[in-house]
């Protein structure tokens, strides 16, 4: 029989039930990192409270790729079946390039994980972040624990009497501050974490680049021959594009937006229409139209990492995008 944390004191999705006044671990943030952590703690019977400021889980977009070690981890936890059934497996990547003298053409193809790498799952599994969250939420709920939605973290302090952590959050029903007493607090609440400032001297070290990108998830109509492949396109006149096949016949396009090297794109100008026009310019002479768009985002690349991941007492921790590492491994830090 598997250990259960028990549902007593936990709030259901409609907010009718209060959170317990005490717990062992409070996790702030119900993205992939927070959910994976809370799911594992719950499996071991450790009393866990999971706070999230959003009213619901991720429905579209955001991180979408899982590397072989992440897939292997989900398999070990017997959580991979739905993801493997619904996601798209990509085994290789093709490269296209155009110059002032040469039109856009395929220049090569490369296998992601050759035999000598020894990956048991030699592919990247592509599925939007909400599908991953679904799997982890269900795993927790099967053990009697739910995410406390619309419950933003406010602050925390350490009790002088017993060293416990007093975690203050906003009650979703009354909007008044409430306090949970915990042994540990882990912030998994993203790059703009509210937990990180409570770890003395914790800050992000590194740099913000000027590399600006737009991201579009949607159903595409095109005569480009590698539509259903992962593709890296490099052009001299319109930057770089990365094509990624997605679930439900969708395609994700990462489109470089900076007009000149070293320039940062004004984020307010990076609209879906502008991103689509940049993509069409880069893909010429191939046609490129969107039948529908499910999700759009734009961002500036940063290469930063936290200088501290815990306080001196080892009671406050940060994980996931709160302590980001370079090169877009956000969806993989949860294991």
Structure-token pair, residue 132: 């991953």
CA distance 83 to 233: 28
Choose among 126, 133, 127, 125: nearest CA to 58.
133
Do 150 and 54 share a structural domain?
A: yes
Do 53 and 33 share a structural domain?
A: yes
Whichever domain contains 121, its CATH number is 3.30.9.10
Do 278 and 165 share a structural domain?
A: no
pTM for the structure as a whole: 0.84
For 181, the domain range is 22-61+129-203+307-332
- pLDDT score of 322: 65
Do 112 and 56 share a structural domain?
A: no
- pLDDT score of 12: 45
Burial class (CB in 10 A: 0-12, 13-18, 19+), 24: middle
Structure-token pair, residue 22: 């005490």
Whichever domain contains 47, its CATH number is 3.50.50.60
Do 287 and 218 share a structural domain?
A: yes
- Is 177 a member of any domain? yes
- Is 8 a member of any domain? no
- Is 6 a member of any domain? no
- Is 83 a member of any domain? no
- pLDDT score of 63: 73
- pLDDT score of 294: 93
- Is 180 a member of any domain? yes
Do 162 and 92 share a structural domain?
A: no
Do 283 and 137 share a structural domain?
A: no
- Is 111 a member of any domain? yes
- Is 235 a member of any domain? yes
Do 288 and 275 share a structural domain?
A: yes
Which mean pLDDT values do the consecutive 10-residue runs of the chain (335 residues) have? 45 57 98 96 97 90 85 96 95 96 96 94 92 96 96 97 97 95 97 94 83 92 95 95 93 84 73 96 97 91 85 96 51 45
**Are 57 and 30 spatial neighbours (Cβ–Cβ below 8 Å)?**
yes
Do 175 and 150 share a structural domain?
A: yes
Q: Measuring CA to CA, how many Å separate 59 from each of 53, 56, 261? A: 15, 8, 34
CA distance 53 to 50: 10
| Structural domains of the chain, count | 2
Do 221 and 112 share a structural domain?
A: yes
- Is 69 a member of any domain? no
Do 93 and 167 share a structural domain?
A: no
Do 318 and 296 share a structural domain?
A: no
């Amino acid at each position: 029989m598997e250990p259960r944390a028990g549902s007593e004191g936990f709030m259901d999705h409609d907010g009718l039930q209060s959170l317990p006044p005490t717990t062992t671990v409070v996790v702030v943030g119900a993205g992939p990192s927070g959910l994976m952590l809370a799911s594992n703690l719950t499996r071991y019977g450790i009393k866990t409270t999971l706070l999230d400021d959003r009213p619901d889980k991720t429905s579209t977009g955001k991180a979408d790729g899982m590397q072989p070690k992440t897939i292997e981890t989900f398999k070990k936890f017997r959580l991979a079946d739905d993801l493997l059934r619904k996601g798209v497996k990509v085994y290789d990547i093709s490269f296209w390039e155009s110059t002032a003298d040469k039109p856009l053409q395929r220049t090569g193809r490369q296998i992601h994980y050759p035999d000598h790498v020894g990956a048991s799952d030699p592919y990247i599994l592509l599925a939007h972040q909400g599908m991953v969250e679904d799997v982890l939420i269900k795993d927790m709920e099967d053990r009697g624990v739910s995410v406390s939605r619309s419950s933003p973290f406010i602050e925390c302090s350490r009790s002088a009497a017993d060293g416990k952590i007093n975690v203050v959050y906003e009650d979703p029903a009354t909007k008044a501050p409430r306090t949970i007493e915990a042994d540990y607090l882990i912030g998994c609440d993203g790059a703009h974490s509210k937990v990180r400032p409570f770890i003395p001297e914790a800050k992000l070290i590194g740099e913000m680049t000027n590399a600006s990108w737009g991201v579009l998830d949607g159903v595409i109509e095109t005569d480009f021959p590698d539509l259903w492949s992962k593709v890296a396109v490099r052009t001299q006149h319109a930057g770089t594009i990365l094509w990624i096949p997605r679930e439900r016949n969708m395609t994700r396009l990462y489109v470089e937006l900076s007009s000149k090297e070293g320039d940062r794109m004004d984020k307010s100008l990076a609209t879906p229409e502008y991103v689509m026009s940049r993509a069409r310019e880069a893909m010429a002479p191939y046609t490129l139209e969107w039948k529908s768009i499910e999700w759009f985002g734009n961002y500036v690349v940063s290469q930063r990492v936290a200088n501290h991941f815990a306080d001196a007492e080892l009671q406050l921790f940060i994980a996931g995008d709160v302590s980001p590492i370079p090169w877009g491994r956000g969806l993989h830090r949860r294991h």
